[in-house]
Structure 1
Amino acid sequence: MFIRNETFYSFRRNYPIITVLVAIHLILFLWINFLPMGRWVLTLGIGNNLAVANGDYWRLVTPIFLHIGTAHVLFNSFSLVIFGPALEKMLGRFKFILFYLLTGVIANIAYFYLGDPYTQHLGASGAIYGLLGLYLYLVVNRKDLIDQENGQLVMTILIIGLVMTFVNSNINILAHLFGLISGAALAPLFLIGAKPFYAQRSFVEPSEPVFNPNRWQNKQRNKKRLSKVIWIGLAILILYGILSQII
């Protein structure tokens, strides 16, 4: 569910919404940091509660796509690549993007009403925690859609994420919490008609002998190796984000 072994071409073809979202993250990051009119784009799109109160309602949406720090954009984009594909397949493209944007907007609305009116904010973290909220609902109430191993992985990463939320001094706690809560709350509605991710995957087996007695053992070993790579990658990004204090 969370192990990515596609080529760039197959990933782009199978998960177009995730691909577009990550591309928007990276393009806007490069624009606001290095290209002409970047500061104008940042100023126009950044979350600002006073500006929202004065009618800039688009600022409830635009911060979801903006990142100003390298670790910030890499961590959120990497998280989206890991956690998004299974849900894009399970929900379908339209329901997935609607869910993603809705949880991100709810997180920003919560910050508008409960957060510091003089603090600006940006980042996709609220929407990503919305995805984790949906996974949390799957683990608790829809075990038919997620296996035990992946459920344990989700809960471990969720716990790490929540600990980071409260120990890091530069995190929008309200956006994380309300993204998670909204994701879990909206999950029953969006999961209507959903099927397990493994039932929808289609891939071609590599060329090998039909009666290879070690076939499944080899696949299990390869799966474990890939899992270790994923965990190492997550650990490095999490550590980098903690040291940078900008996740």
Structure 2
Amino acid sequence: MDTDRLPGCYRHPDRATGISCTRCSRPICPECMISASVGFQCPTCVRDGSGSGTGRGPAAHAPRTLAGGVVAADPHLVTKVLIGLNAAVFLFGLAVPTAVVHLELLGRYVTYFGAPVEGVSTGEYYRLLSSVFLHVEWWHIIGNMIGLWVIGGPLEAALGRARYLAVYLLSGLGGSALVYLLTAPNTPTLGASGAVFGLLGATVVLARRLRYEMRPVLVMVGLMLVLTFVPLGGSLTVSWQAHVGGLVTGALVGVGMLRPATGRTRALIQWGTCAVVFLLVAAVVLVRTAELT
């Protein structure tokens, strides 16, 4: 599909879209489309027709995102909160450097500051998630937060807050699980890149769902994977395991979140997919733990 021939969203003319409102036929982008019983409606039609002539009341016509979540006043709120949390943990690490070793992903204990530090294999499973919010270099956090804002903002608007947060957290866990499985147990790993790659994987699914031109998205994925495997120098080594693990996990969750369905069936598919992915991640972690103990 040639995006140059597609109309622009009536609220965001710079965004080409192949989706239109089922009531007024105006073109609408993912941020503006609201799920209806058949197809999608624009915010104007939903606002003007909410509760009228249906007998079901305004609640039945509450604005919904493409994935069925409630349309929020600030569609990027969770993305902003996540950026704030990453920044807060970064500043905390600068203020208390010794705390970093208790937050980073570590499979088995090593000696830091003359004392042994435990790892995931000894029961510190929280490291799989705490490491996703941890950075120790300014360029590392800036790069990840730019990626989070650029990729995460539109995805949050399309999924809704809860579903978007589920993709982010599960992608981070998926990336950490693959790192834990494939790297030496005393290799420290940290950063939000696995979660950001997961958002990218879900974005690929979103673009496919909306029948957008796939080449720009696939080029972005390819470029980010090339950067993953090309040494950049500096004091940190890029963890390809986190990137690939996050990308695959995000795509899997995205397929469940964006599968065409309505009502309870859609919710069952979405949260069922999250549960299955979480169990797969847990299985990988338990297998690796069994090897190290």
TM-score (norm 2): 0.57
Partner of 1:227: none
Task: Give the aligned CA root-mean-square deviation in angstroms.
Answer: 2.5
Q: Deviations over 1:88-143 (max 9, x none)?
A: 1111101110111001101111111111211100000001111111122334x42x
Partner of 1:199: none
Partner of 2:107: 49
Q: How far has the Cα of 1:146 moved from its partner?
A: 5.4
2:105, 2:93 → 1: CA distance? 15
Partner of 1:19: 80
Q: How far has the Cα of 1:28 moved from its partner?
A: 1.5
Partner of 2:239: 172
SS of the counterpart of 1:57? Answer: coil
Q: Deviations over 1:56-90 (max 9, x none)?
A: 00001001111111110001000011011111111
Partner of 1:186: 253
Q: How far has the Cα of 1:40 moved from its partner?
A: 3.4
Q: 1:187 is matched by which residue type in structure 2?
A: G
Q: 1:23 is matched by which residue type in structure 2?
A: G
Q: 2:97 is matched by which residue type in structure 1?
A: R
Alignment: residue pair count? 180
Q: How far has the Cα of 1:44 moved from its partner?
A: 1.6
Q: 1:43 is matched by which residue type in structure 2?
A: V
SS of the counterpart of 2:204? Answer: helix
Partner of 1:127: 195
Q: Which runs of 5+ in 1 are unaligned?
A: 5-11, 195-247
Q: 1:39 is matched by which residue type in structure 2?
A: P
Correspondence 1:94 to 2:162: yes
Q: Deviations over 1:134-182 (max 9, x none)?
A: 122334x42xx2532xx43322221111111111261101111111111
For the pair shown, the structure with the greater C-alpha radius of gyration is: 2
2:260, 2:130 → 1: CA distance? 30
1:42, 1:154 → 2: CA distance? 35
1:52, 1:106 → 2: CA distance? 14
1:58, 1:29 → 2: CA distance? 17
Partner of 2:177: 109
Partner of 1:214: none
1:152, 1:21 → 2: CA distance? 29
2:74, 2:157 → 1: CA distance? 12
Moved over 6 A (4+): none
Q: What is the aligned-residue identity percentage?
A: 31
